[in-house]
């Protein structure tokens, strides 16, 4: 129970609270608990309990999505967050076992930190991947502390976070505080150096994010379809007219959130024409929509969660299909053996081909991240490299919980890692625009209807992380493991023995 509580305390450092001192209790507390265990089995259970408490407190918001179909899934309400947290907690067991096996102090701290990051990296790939809330995201409250992600990625930040937070359990007296202060100062200096570069923008290109704030329970109601579409049309028309008057001659780009259009824009000519009527000459609409294909007998063959680019003539100028789909939401894993589908519709979505640079006439090429895809570091930008990123999402599933804030933090980190500006349009918020260094240029709050306009930020140079991806944090994690093992030999030699019992 104490381990689970310590894990939950550590989750207070995650968005939106960012209470970083909580980690100075959570991680040292875990390491001290592990030190008190007489057997490896007990240490494994302690690690599992800590990971479970941390995950439940971090992803409690998944329960909110079930409330939209309470009649069918009422039984999942008490099980969803604890159940999803259990496999996530399992990733904390190997780091806990390794920490228990290593001598207390520096060997344990570095060994635990390296193993923790390797476990985070496994979460990117195993079981379709769910790298939500990596520990490095605790720094995403501002652009300054996350600049190191341009080199080592969010998982490299996780390594630094574990080491800094675990210092009280590794050394006594003034040393851990001096080392922590030095580490924080180094992060701040590096961040300030990168942010000293002035913000760049693409000449005469303006972005307009449209946040309709349509409640999830109303989104797919047939009676509300026309009203929902009309809301986006009206917001777009007003915002583009104002921008055209304020910035004559500029290229205007309106961005709608994930599946904002209740009509199939790629196929529905009438809906596209209505959307095109809101666009001044030369303007482009990037809209989230479902895309479908039928066979020769008019039978529905496949559907995609897509972004469709529509020009002022009502012509489809570009398409991106979501590649990384959400299990139990957009498709049924395990061939449908578990009869749980939280999203509406009885047909699985098809997956797109993966990251591509979408090219639309008169616009710089852009990459697209639809909702869930924004949480996967190192799998964002295509080759050739786009000039900017568009993230469309529907976080209405999560209400006013911490979920939208955690998703926003992931988007900011992707911008810093790749050195690319990112425009994020969310159905109920939080919509925002970040430059290539993760500086926020504007934001629409959660739960409001409105639009946000800003100049399109310019791309940065490819970062080290953009070039080498997850290999960099993986190498750092292995180096931390090797350091912990090397220090183990010194501790053992000095002590003359180690903990009794099986490792």
Residues catalogued as catalytic: 258, 322, 371
3-state secondary structure of 357: coil
Residues 6 or more apart whose Cβ sits within 8 Å of residue 63: 77, 80, 81
User: What tokens appear for 69 in the block?
Assistant: 């179909």
CB 456 within 8 A of CB 389: no
Strand partners for 304: 291
CB 218 within 8 A of CB 228: yes
Distance CA 108, CA 101 (A): 8
Smallest CA-to-CA distance from 457 within 165, 119, 202 is with: 202
Residues 6 or more apart whose Cβ sits within 8 Å of residue 374: 380, 391, 393, 407, 410, 411, 414, 424
Count, in order, helices (H) and strands (E) of the chain: 16, 11
User: What tokens appear for 306 in the block?
Assistant: 């897509």
Strand partners for 252: 206
Per-residue DSSP letter, 422: E
Distance CA 215, CA 232 (A): 13
Distance CA 392, CA 449 (A): 16
User: What tokens appear for 453 in the block?
Assistant: 């306009």
Residues 6 or more apart whose Cβ sits within 8 Å of residue 58: 11, 14, 132, 133, 402, 406
3-state secondary structure of 221: coil
To the nearest 10 degrees (0 to 180), the angle between helices 40-59 and 23-35 is 160
Q: Which residue has the tokens 């180690």?
A: 498
User: What tokens appear for 178 in the block?
Assistant: 């001096």
Radius of gyration of the chain (CA): 24
User: What tokens appear for 272 in the block?
Assistant: 């596209």
């Amino acid at each position: 129970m104490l381990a689970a509580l310590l894990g939950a305390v550590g989750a207070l450092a995650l968005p939106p609270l960012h209470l970083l001192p909580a980690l100075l209790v959570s991680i040292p507390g875990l390491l001290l608990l592990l030190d008190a265990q007489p057997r490896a089995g007990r240490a494994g259970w302690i690690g599992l309990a800590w990971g479970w408490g941390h995950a439940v407190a971090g992803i409690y918001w998944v329960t909110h999505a079930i409330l939209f179909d309470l009649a069918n899934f009422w039984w999942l309400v008490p099980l969803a967050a604890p159940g999803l947290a259990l496999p996530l907690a399992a990733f904390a067991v190997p780091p806990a076992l390794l920490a228990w096996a290593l001598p207390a102090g520096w060997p344990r701290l570095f060994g635990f930190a390296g193993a923790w990051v390797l476990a985070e990296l496994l979460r990117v790939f195993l079981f379709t991947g769910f790298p939500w809330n990596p520990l490095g995201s605790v720094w995403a409250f501002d652009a300054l502390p996350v600049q190191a992600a341009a080199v080592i990625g969010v998982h490299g930040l996780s390594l630094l976070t574990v080491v800094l937070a675990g210092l009280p359990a590794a050394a006594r007296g003034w040393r851990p505080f001096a080392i922590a202060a030095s580490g924080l100062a180094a992060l701040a200096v590096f961040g300030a150096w990168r942010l000293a570069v002035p913000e760049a923008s693409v000449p005469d290109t303006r972005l307009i994010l449209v946040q309709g704030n349509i409640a999830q329970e109303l989104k797919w109601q047939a009676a509300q379809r026309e009203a929902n579409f009309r809301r986006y049309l009206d917001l777009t028309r007003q915002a583009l007219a104002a921008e055209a008057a304020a910035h004559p001659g500029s290229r205007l780009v309106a961005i709608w959130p994930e599946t904002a259009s209740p009509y199939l824009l790629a196929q529905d000519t009438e809906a596209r024409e209505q959307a095109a009527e809101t666009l001044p000459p030369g303007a482009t609409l990037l809209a989230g929509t479902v895309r479908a294909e039928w066979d020769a007998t008019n039978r529905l063959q496949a559907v995609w969660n897509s972004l469709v680019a529509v020009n002022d003539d009502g012509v489809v100028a570009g398409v991106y299909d979501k590649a990384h789909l959400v299990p139990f939401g957009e498709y049924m894993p395990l061939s449908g053996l578990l009869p749980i589908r939280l999203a509406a519709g009885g047909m699985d979505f098809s997956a797109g081909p993966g990251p591509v640079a979408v090219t639309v006439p008169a616009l710089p090429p852009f990459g697209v991240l639809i909702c869930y895809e924004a949480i996967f570091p190192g799998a964002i930008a295509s080759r050739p490299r786009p000039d900017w990123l568009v993230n469309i999402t529907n976080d209405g599933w999560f209400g006013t919980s911490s979920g939208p804030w955690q998703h926003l933090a992931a988007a900011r980190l992707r911008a810093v890692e790749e050195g690319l500006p990112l425009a994020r349009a969310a159905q109920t918020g939080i919509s925002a625009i970040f430059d290539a260094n993760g500086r926020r240029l504007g934001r629409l709050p959660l739960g409001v209807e409105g639009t946000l306009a800003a100049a399109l930020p310019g791309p940065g140079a490819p970062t080290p992380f953009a070039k080498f991806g997850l290999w960099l944090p993986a190498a750092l994690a292995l180096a931390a493991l090797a350091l912990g093992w090397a220090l183990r030999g010194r501790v053992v030699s000095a002590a003359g023995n180690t903990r009794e019992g099986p490792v």
